[in-house]
Amino acid sequence: MNTSHIALPAPARYFPFAKGRYEIKTGLYTLGTDFGNGILDRNRFQLDRQFHEYRARKHSARERDLAQHMCIAEQTPALRHANAFILQTLAREYPQHFRIERTPDRTTLHCELSGEDIHMDRDLQLLQDAGTRSARYANTLDALACQIQEDLALVEVDAQGNDQIVALHLCFPNHWTATDKIGKSFQGAHAPVPHMEKIYQGAKSLLASLVQKGPYVRFAWGISRDRALHHPARPEQPIAFDPEHPQLHLRIERQFLQPLEDAGAFLFGIRTYFENIEELREIPAHRQALHAAIASMDVQVLRYKGLEHDRDAILTWLAPRVSTNGFDQVL
């Protein structure tokens, strides 16, 4: 079924570098905080004109190696809660694109954008009905994740504050794999990230609060040499920065954290966006803020972000300029 004609909004735009300083912090905002994107800022899931591109890339990743992209540590009750939340939220946030139909023995999600009907039993287990497209999916989480543009993680937190990543559907990671992170704690999953010590000190209370409070959104960002949605199995080729052909993009993650209090868990969604830095460079405020933010990165962060060798060249290229007697000069 060709659904490419269905009208969808332009992608949201976020500029987490705007304060001009790169910081490692939780940076939680209440969901609904106005970032200038209208209803998209109020939604957990963000569906836009890039839907078919993201969906095609998800299917390509899954077909290449599903086990690398979808991992479930155990069939925990929290997974049913997460599936129910996704199902209900899609129908509530996008009633024009998703419709739930219930009978005594099954639940069906009609998905207008994909042209698919997802059939589940009363416990929301996927039904592999002959003659339907549900058969292409491994389980309910897999089917639902392929109707959205976000990657998903499910985190359980027990009464003692111990946490574990129990499910991942991850097709667009920033050079990390689902197989490496599944079953790990917050601290274990973030071990490669520099300057996390202060966050680790309050991690138990933070994670406990994410089960009970929210929903929240937060942002992460870095610099990529292209707009590809990379996976570590297909690593980005190192390319030296060339100011004549810069090809730099801001890779921005908008992350939502949804409490599932009855399940002792929270759902973590990651939506990836790209901004062409050459275009942002033409806007003085963006140029200045991005220059300052990169300049604020220490050696550990630069190494983690893959900017250690190109920092100075990128800063020179981004340096604010003034016009004097018709000639541009770097400030």
Continuous segment of H or E residues that includes residue 218: strand 216-224
The residues near 67 (Cβ < 8 Å, ≥ 6 apart) are 179
The residues near 145 (Cβ < 8 Å, ≥ 6 apart) are 58, 70, 151, 152, 169
Q: Count Cβ atoms within 10 A of the Cβ of residue 167 and give its class: 0-12 exposed, 13-18 middle, 19 or more buried.
A: buried
The beta-strand segments (E) located in 56-131 are 70-72, 98-103, 106-111, 116-120
Q: What is the mean pLDDT of residues 47-75?
A: 93
- Please write the tens of the pLDDT for every residue from 150-187: 999 999 999 888 999 999 999 998 878 899 999 999 99
pTM as predicted? 0.91
The yes-or-no verdict on residue 211 having pLDDT over 80 is: yes
pLDDT at 326: 46
Helix axes 284-295, 311-318, angle to 10 degrees: 160
Q: Computed from CA positions of residues 226, 11, 173, 286, in that sequence, does the dihedral angle turn out positive or negative?
A: positive
Continuous segment of H or E residues that includes residue 62: helix 51-69
DSSP 232: T
Best CA proximity match to 50, nearest among 12, 96, 87, 91: 12
Q: What is the mean pLDDT of residues 226-230?
A: 75
What's the rounded Cα separation, in Å, for the pair 83 and 143? 10
Interior CA angle at 152 toward 146 and 155, to 5°?
A: 145
CB atoms within 10 A of CB 292: 18
- Judged by average pLDDT, the poorest of 218-227, 291-300, 319-328 is 319-328
pLDDT band of residue 27 (cuts 50, 70, 90) is very high
Q: Which residue has the higher pLDDT, 304 or 41?
A: 41
pLDDT at 239: 66
Q: What is the mean pLDDT of residues 127-140?
A: 76
